[in-house]
Structure 1
């Protein structure tokens, strides 16, 4: 069985583009399941899959995050990776789908978990917002804050890979910078009526396909408004994703022994040990 990719909400599980991509495991919430149930659930996943990679949103309620860390601590397992991700909800859902795609490839669990940090840099995630008055996840200037109170004002906001805010329409700052590689665009409608994402952003970003998905439950809280259309562009081709991950030099975690890429182990969070200086 491939490494299990787990999420904390069913709306983070997007449809797969092919029949080879396995589904993600939706973990039971602390409100619905006692600690004993969560322990049994995680134990079963480890027994079936060997390793579990959990995508943990930075916007999760404290009770959910606390339960995940409690389960890992009680089980004293180095087979559970809790990956804290700063992406907006729809961008996180795309990252989860990419990890699901790669889970059936020949990558070891340590490389798969560490790949999440790499792939995050290639996801362009943002939203069309009717107001940025309460937005605190990216910098908002005083002028943009004031314009939020003008009726009909809309903002194109990019949260990843680099924060960017642009007012649309006359006097606006133009289109947010897009990817310089082939992507597919996914968008989800909130309480904002607009075709801007599909009609203008998609052609400007030269995406190869546009898909609509249901709005994740946490999107309104993440963007601090329900008047939004969330969007995210990501690499859809598993062969390209495979080449990206395979091209990175691999190392061995000095703490848990798992193979990894990048500068930190996804399972035990230990940093890569610096190279030993040669003795003259």
Structure 2
């Protein structure tokens, strides 16, 4: 899902739809055209997309023999993935190299809190659920507040229900599914001292990721481009020893090479 632009500088997104159903030649032509137009391509997708679609992305990258395609599938709920993709679109308007921009995705995941309100946790396998909580989910009218990232949390919603949130200023994005609940807006957002709130349509993969379509998904994030840029540029950059592109961290998102181990000099003896 491509979220609306956060500001006038946000770069538009291209949504690659029906990857597991359209002819391979059509996908190849689309990706080849994008590479010709822009030089590099960062594909951000949820781990809840069908396996055939993910396989198609790897097939296209292999057939094009291109190291200019970065495949980024963070372990985040679908709404948080959409937020992260928009943050990368914001940063794409800055003077960041393709390798640094692609690497920034893993850095920015640390500043996202993602969760949902669910009517049932019987099919939830992304967050640990004990047997007692499973039993409570069968009670009529039960609702649960769940945090999937950065640390798993689960509470049954009631007067004393609380979830630990960010200790820095954020905005919150809310996507209402088929569940009638205003707990996020009336209780969670004030407790987390969010600076603002927006709504979005629920991503197509949300029901599969959370195990139910009766949910209200939410995500807090840093909206300001200046803050995002400062975070990314404050991290030490290096060169991928395999493809030579600028990177952040110990793994190149384009060629998947990891940094070679650092060999320390032996301590002097005698």
Same topology, TM > 0.5:
yes
Counterpart selection for 2:128 from 122, 128, 139: 139
Is 1:14 the equivalent of 2:3?
A: yes
Q: Matches of residues 1-280 of structure 1 in structure 2 within 5 Å?
A: 12-169=1-158, 174-278=161-265
3-state DSSP of counterpart to 2:111: coil
**How big is each residue's C-alpha offset from its partner over 1:60-91, in whole Å with a ceiling of 9 and x where there is no partner?**
11110111000000111010000121111111
Gaps of 5+ in 1: 1-11
Output the aligned Cα RMSD: 1.4
**How big is each residue's C-alpha offset from its partner over 1:15-53, in whole Å with a ceiling of 9 and x where there is no partner?**
112111011111142355211111111111111101000
Is the contact made by 2:20 and 2:56 (CA closer than 8 Å) also made in structure 1?
no
3-state DSSP of counterpart to 1:81: strand
**Alpha-carbon distance between aligned partners in 1 of 2:110 and 2:169, rounded to the nearest angstrom:** 14
Deviation at 1:103, TM superposition (A): 0.6
Is the alpha carbon distance of 1:31 and 1:83 closer, same or farther for their aligned partners in structure 2, counting shifts above 3 Å? closer
TM-score after normalising by structure 1: 0.92
Is the contact made by 1:28 and 1:38 (CA closer than 8 Å) also made in structure 2?
no
TM-score after normalising by structure 2: 0.95
3-state DSSP of counterpart to 1:166: strand
3-state DSSP of counterpart to 2:72: strand
Aligned length: 267
**Alpha-carbon distance between aligned partners in 2 of 1:31 and 1:168, rounded to the nearest angstrom:** 38
Deviation at 1:276, TM superposition (A): 4.4
